[in-house]
Amino acid sequence: MALAPLTGERVPAATVQGMSAITVVSAHDRLPLTCSRSGTCCHGKMVWLNPWELACLAQAKGLSAREFRDRFCEFGGIRLRFDGPPGWKGLSACSQFIPGQGCSVHPGRPLACRLYPLGRKLLGKDVEYIHDGETFPCLAGCAEVVDLPHMTVAEYLAGQAIDPGQTAQDAYLDLMQQLADGAFVLLLESGLAASGDKQTLRGWRDLGRAHPKERATRIPAAWMDRLTLPDLAHLRDDPAAFAKAHHDHLQAAAQSEFARRDSKDGLRQASCLMMALALHLARGLGSDVEHLADRWISTAKKHGARE
Ligand code: SF4
Ligand code: SF4
């Protein structure tokens, strides 16, 4: 199953997904990419997180991942809170922004913050770098950047140390797909779909349409902890190994919890939980979750499931 295009972009809080224009940039484009460090773009945005990014933020803050999540994140750990004092245009600051100083977690900042004002979009295996809107985003709040040194997109990206973040993003896309595959197996290979069950796909569709806050309430606390707090700090310097070990932990937990389920209700609940985990992780990766759920439902129907 192919993955939906995803972005690692720090987006304005008011952006309605899929509604804003984007501009594709090339590695050779020379742009006013020197930051004036006003902190403008640390206000009024949405910064989504994957579990490796959460671990990096916690380390930079000197907290455990659990403490960081519970104090500074929303929806079980997939988005940074923006509940700091109002700043630019009266918009709330990121919870990690200190007025007059800047980002308090700079060494552990997420990929979206490293890339800004650019974003990253996957088209199959190809990556495009983009920015939001038709006008260079920094000009809205930091017009002074036109007088600072311009640089190519390639030079900018090289200076932001984005490789670990990109590796983590791609590894977690794989994990998202593996969680969804688990939901498929529980529906299609357990006899549940063959029994004529229609409620499982309805459950998947509800999960795709649910607000992240609502979807988070449908994931039991122990599973949310498994999803966002994998306790793998010793692998933080190797994001691919971190995501792989995280996959193994989730797989072992699913095996131990679901292996003996054979009632229709038990299988349906297990399939919907795996789908909820896949979609919640997908939301943290910047995906259009409703679109993703629709595509997975359509695939399941092609394999005999009903809604
Ligand atoms: S809007 Fe651009 S120039 Fe201004 S603080 Fe953000 S990255 Fe720097
Ligand atoms: S994590 Fe740091 S760079 Fe990113 S929005 Fe928050 S304060 Fe700004």
Sequence length of the chain is 307
* Ligand 1: residue whose CA is nearest its atom 6: 41
Of 161, 188, 212, the residue that ends a domain is 161
**Per-residue pLDDT for the chain (307 aa), expressed as one digit of tens each?**
333 344 556 555 544 334 468 899 999 999 999 999 999 999 999 999 999 999 999 999 999 999 999 999 999 999 999 999 999 999 999 999 999 999 999 999 999 999 999 999 888 888 999 999 999 999 999 999 999 999 999 999 999 999 999 999 999 999 999 999 999 999 999 999 999 999 999 999 999 999 999 999 999 999 999 999 999 999 999 999 999 999 999 999 999 998 888 899 999 999 999 999 999 999 999 999 999 999 999 999 999 999 9
One domain, residues 20 and 147: yes
One domain, residues 109 and 156: yes
One domain, residues 92 and 224: no
What is the number of the ligand closest to the CA of 147?
Answer: 1
Please tell me the distance between residue 67's alpha carbon and the centre of ligand 1 in angstroms.
29
* 109 assigned to some structural domain: yes
* Ligand 2: residue whose CA is nearest its atom 5: 42
Q: Which atom of ligand 2 is closest in space to residue 57's alpha carbon?
A: 1
Of 111, 127, 161, the residue that ends a domain is 161
C-alpha–C-alpha distance, residues 307 and 304, integer Å: 10
Q: Which of 43, 79, 109, 111 to mutate to test ligand 2, by most ligand atoms within 8 A of the CB atom?
A: 109
Q: Which of 34, 35, 91, 132 to mutate to test ligand 1, by most ligand atoms within 8 A of the CB atom?
A: 35
Please tell me the distance between residue 9's alpha carbon and the centre of ligand 2 in angstroms.
13
- Judge contact between 96 and 57, C-beta under 8 A: yes
One domain, residues 110 and 24: yes
What is the number of the ligand closest to the CA of 99?
Answer: 2
How many domains are contained in the chain? Answer: 2
- Judge contact between 230 and 246, C-beta under 8 A: yes
Of 103, 136, 161, the residue that ends a domain is 161
* Ligand 1: residue whose CA is nearest its atom 1: 138
One domain, residues 132 and 253: no
Spell out which residues line ligand 1, taking CB within 6 angstroms: 35-41, 116-117, 138, 141-142, 145
* 245 assigned to some structural domain: yes
Please tell me the distance between residue 259's alpha carbon and the centre of ligand 1 in angstroms.
50
One domain, residues 220 and 297: yes
Domain, as residue range, for 28:
11-47+82-161
C-alpha–C-alpha distance, residues 239 and 215, integer Å: 26
One domain, residues 109 and 246: no
One domain, residues 105 and 121: yes
One domain, residues 205 and 267: yes
* 157 assigned to some structural domain: yes
* 59 assigned to some structural domain: no
One domain, residues 232 and 118: no
pTM of the model: 0.93
DSSP per position, the chain:
-PPPP-B---EETTPPTTTS-EEEE-TT-EE--------GGGBSEE-B--HHHHHHHHHHHTS-HHHHHHHHEETTTTEE---EEE-GGGPEEPTTEETTTEETTGGG--HHHHHTTEEEEEETTEEEEEEESSS-GGGGT-GGGGGSPPEEHHHHHHHTT-HHHHHHHHHHHHHHHHHHHHHHHHHHSSSTGGGT--HHHHHHHHHHHS-HHHHHHTS-HHHHHHHH----GGGTT-HHHHHHHHHHHHHHHHHHHHTT--SHHHHHHHHHHHHHHHHHHHHHTT--HHHHHHHHHHHHHHTT---
* 75 assigned to some structural domain: no
C-alpha–C-alpha distance, residues 72 and 44, integer Å: 15
One domain, residues 175 and 153: no
Q: Which atom of ligand 2 is closest in space to residue 105's alpha carbon?
A: 2
> 86 φ, ψ to 5°?
-60, 145
Q: Which atom of ligand 1 is closest in space to residue 140's alpha carbon?
A: 1
One domain, residues 191 and 232: yes
